[in-house]
Amino acid sequence: MKNVALGQPTVGQEELDAIAEVFASGWLSGAGPSCLAFEKDFSAVSGVDHVLSTSNCGSALHLGQLALGVRPGDEVIVGDYTFPATGHSVMWSGATPVFVDVRPDIWSIDTTKIEEAITPRTVGIIAVDPFGQPADYDELRAIADRHGLWLIEDAACATGATYKGRKVGELADMTAYSFHGRKGITSGEGGALVSARGDLIEHARKLHTYGIAPAISREGMTSLPVPSFDELGYNYRLSDVQAAIMRVQVRRLPELLANRERAAQGYRELLGDVEQLQLPVALDDRTHPWQSYVITVAPELDRGAVALALRERGVGCNFGTYASHLQPIYGPQRSLPVSADLFARHIAIPMHANLTGDDVAYVSEVVRDVVSQPSVRH
């Protein structure tokens, strides 16, 4: 029996060589020379000049909100179908996440439902790019400007994506990325916060080092500087070891994206006629980086039974992501039926840059067979 992993990083000797260079330098901790070099590299990916490397995407989202002035008592509108790091980051800022339902086709926030959720306490919008495909940023920007709100893009899954010819990173006031092990490029953990506004990133840089400028800013001084703490900060730094890995991953990005697109095209060709499935939609005016490949099973199928049957035959799989409003941490919430339905019926099947044509064919064959079995019906 063949075994095909749900996700898998593409790493090798180049990353090991980069780590060895950091070891030799003696600077392994965070916010050092490798981090600064990575930030310069990543500005080309994001399309903006100002980049801050962070410990993960959740910390980047938190820093972004703090830099934009979020305070306790504020409300922040959030696309509901997302990993809870998005909603959690709002709560870390002392604000309240207000979840809004999503589009049934591409699963990002439904812009026709945002304005009814705006109150006098609303200060901003966090739009999520589910599994990498960008949300509707022209409409989001218009709504934010009309109501005097800031806009953050949660691009955890969207490194390398574009929207109407513009790079993810150029679409909002601030953009947060993830470099978790299942993302398109990875250092195991890690993230970045980017913006066209240098003042926002410099404030975030101070906050990500406990509220003072990073130590590297004091290297080479002829006096003994003793920084003082005048603002509460955090340890949200990426290590220089991780940054060295990310520099190699950035160089790999075009090839990794091409490999993922090839796998997605294979699934479209081999599973497009399966009546029990809806395949993910990729819109023509934006590019999809395919962080995950998520299928929607028909209502009459038992999603759990389908997943167990796939795993028994060596096909890695999992649920998609979360309907945030259903998570107990957020308390009672109004009904958001589209997100809730996706949460109940989505299955992620193998998607990574190492998939071969044989892998995609095997996964497709098993998926097609499993969903046709009477044993997976309710």
Q: Which H/E stretch holds residue 55?
A: none
Q: Which amino acid, one-letter code, is at 174?
A: M
Same domain, residue pair 289 and 199: no
Regarding whether 172 and 74 lie in a shared domain, the answer is yes
Helix 303-312 with 357-371: angle, nearest 10 deg: 130
Q: Is there a single domain that holds both residue 48 and residue 167? A: yes
**Do residues 319 and 275 share a domain?**
yes
**b/e for 25-37, b at 16 or more Cβ within 10 A?**
eebeebbbebbbb
Same domain, 225 and 140: yes
C-alpha–C-alpha distance, residues 180 and 182, integer Å: 6
Domain CATH for 136: 3.40.640.10
Q: Is position 7 within any domain?
A: no
Determine the pLDDT at residue 222. 83
pLDDT at position 53: 98
Domain interval for residue 312: 253-376
For residue 8, being part of any structural domain is answered with no
Statement to judge: residues 355 and 263 lie in one domain: yes
Of 249, 275, 294, the residue at which a domain comes to its end is 249
Q: Which residue has the tokens 């218009």?
A: 142
- Do 235 and 275 fall within a single domain? no
Are 111 and 70 in the same domain? yes
How many domains does the chain fold into?
Answer: 2
Is residue 3 a part of any domain in this protein?
no
For range 94-110, the mean pLDDT: 98
pLDDT at 217 over 90: no
CATH number assigned to the domain comprising residue 286: 3.90.1150.10
Q: What is the per-residue pLDDT for 220?
A: 79
At residue 257, the pLDDT reads 98
Q: Which of 71-75, 223-227, 228-232 has the highest mean pLDDT?
A: 71-75
Q: Model confidence over 233-264: pLDDT tens digits?
A: 999 999 999 999 999 999 999 999 999 999 99
Alpha helix segments (H runs only) across the chain: 13-25, 33-46, 57-67, 85-92, 137-147, 198-207, 240-271, 303-312, 337-345, 357-371
Same domain, 43 and 183: yes
Looking at every residue in the chain, the average pLDDT score rounds to 97
pLDDT score of 374: 97
339 inside domain: yes
Q: What is the pLDDT of residue 1?
A: 85
Same domain, 225 and 319: no
Q: Cβ–Cβ contacts within 10 Å for residue 374, how many?
A: 5
Does the pTM surpass 0.95? The reply is yes
Contacts of 214 (CB under 8 A, 6+ apart): 30, 31, 32, 205, 237
Query: Residue 110 domain-assigned?
Result: yes
Q: What is the pLDDT of residues 278-290, one digit of tens each?
A: 999 999 999 999 9
Distance CA 169, CA 150 (A): 14
Last residue of a domain, one of 200, 224, 249: 249
Q: Which of 8-17, 65-74, 219-228, 260-269 has the lowest mean pLDDT?
A: 219-228
Q: From 225, 249, 273, give the residue that closes a domain.
A: 249
- For residues 258 and 245, membership in a common domain is answered with no
